[in-house]
């Protein structure tokens, strides 16, 4: 659905991305991992029209630069790592996701309101709809902004470390929600993840950036059949057993 082909990004004389190649395939979760400064955020900003680059990005088989901003927003929704501070209500925030679909008057139609309510329900933020964003906990705020993305009804979600700074329970809850969005609501997800163990738990495909280059791209099982993670991140692999299920952790 989204393909990066030989993406190179330079800032001054510094090369941030060097001929990066990877895909976010339709109906799958692709996790993008790498050390700090490896170019992860820089890569996804190219798909959101926020950075100039060399190479080609294909969205649904078409060069992404050929899309008008409003048309691209109907296909891609983006959640940055740092969410803006605001005191508006959760409902008002989520309603902003309908912007690409509104006419010149900007009035919410019945269809718009149904999309907003559906997004609140899926993210389990219905009871929060009247509360101020500024009054929410970190986990509640992430779910509210994710509801904003869902109200946009774009088939592709791009998320920059959505579980950053969350405690274990909220982070696990969010990862479960992402898996549900892919499996039950047919979303394609490209997500930057800091926690390697969580990435290998929920992702279908994984791409690793190191020094601005793609050092691995493939399925989760293909990655786990190698020692690439251990070699790049300097971590060890551990296994835990829960009945007939085996979980893999890196530390």
* Among 145, 113, 149, CA closest to 128: 145
Across 124-212, the runs of DSSP E, i.e. the strands, are 156-160, 188-192, 205-210
Higher pLDDT, 107 or 5: 5
The predicted pLDDT at position 32 comes to: 98
The predicted pLDDT at position 49 comes to: 85
The predicted pLDDT at position 41 comes to: 95
Q: What is the mean pLDDT of residues 37-44?
A: 95
pLDDT at 24 over 90: yes
pLDDT at 103 over 80: no
Beta bridge partners of 33: 208
Beta bridge partners of 87: none
CA 1 to chain centroid, in Å, comes to 14
pLDDT band at residue 107, thresholds of 50, 70 and 90?
Answer: confident
- pLDDT tens digit sequence for 53-93: 999 999 999 999 999 998 999 999 999 988 888 999 999 99
Q: Which residue, chain included where needed, has tokens 């609501």? A: 185
Q: Is 159 helix (H, G, I), strand (E, B) or coil?
A: strand
Higher pLDDT, 246 or 147: 147
- pLDDT tens digit sequence for 173-213: 999 999 999 999 999 999 999 999 999 999 999 999 999 99
pLDDT at 135 over 90: yes
């Amino acid at each position: 659905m989204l393909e990066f082909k030989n993406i190179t990004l330079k800032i001054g004389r510094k090369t941030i991305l060097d001929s990066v190649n990877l895909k976010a395939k339709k109906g799958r979760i692709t996790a993008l991992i790498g050390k700090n400064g490896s170019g992860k955020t820089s890569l996804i900003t190219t798909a959101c029209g926020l950075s100039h680059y060399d190479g080609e990005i294909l969205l649904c088989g078409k060069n992404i630069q050929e899309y008008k901003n409003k048309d691209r927003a109907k296909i891609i929704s983006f959640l940055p790592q740092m969410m803006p501070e605001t005191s508006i209500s959760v409902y008002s925030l989520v309603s902003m996701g309908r912007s690409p679909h509104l006419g010149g008057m900007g009035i919410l139609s019945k269809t718009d309101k149904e999309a907003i309510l559906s997004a609140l329900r899926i993210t389990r933020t219905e009871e929060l709809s009247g509360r101020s964003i500024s009054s929410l906990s970190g986990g509640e705020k992430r779910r509210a902004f994710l509801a904003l993305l869902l109200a946009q009804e774009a088939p592709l979600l791009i998320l920059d470390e959505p579980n950053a700074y969350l405690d274990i329970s909220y982070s696990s809850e969010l990862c479960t929600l992402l898996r549900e969005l892919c499996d039950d609501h047919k979303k394609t997800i490209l997500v930057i993840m800091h926690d390697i163990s969580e990435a290998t738990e929920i992702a279908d495909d994984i791409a690793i950036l190191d020094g601005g280059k793609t050092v691995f791209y493939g399925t989760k099982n293909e990655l786990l059949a190698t020692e690439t993670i251990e070699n790049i991140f300097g971590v060890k692999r551990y296994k835990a057993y829960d009945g007939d299920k085996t979980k893999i952790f890196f530390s």
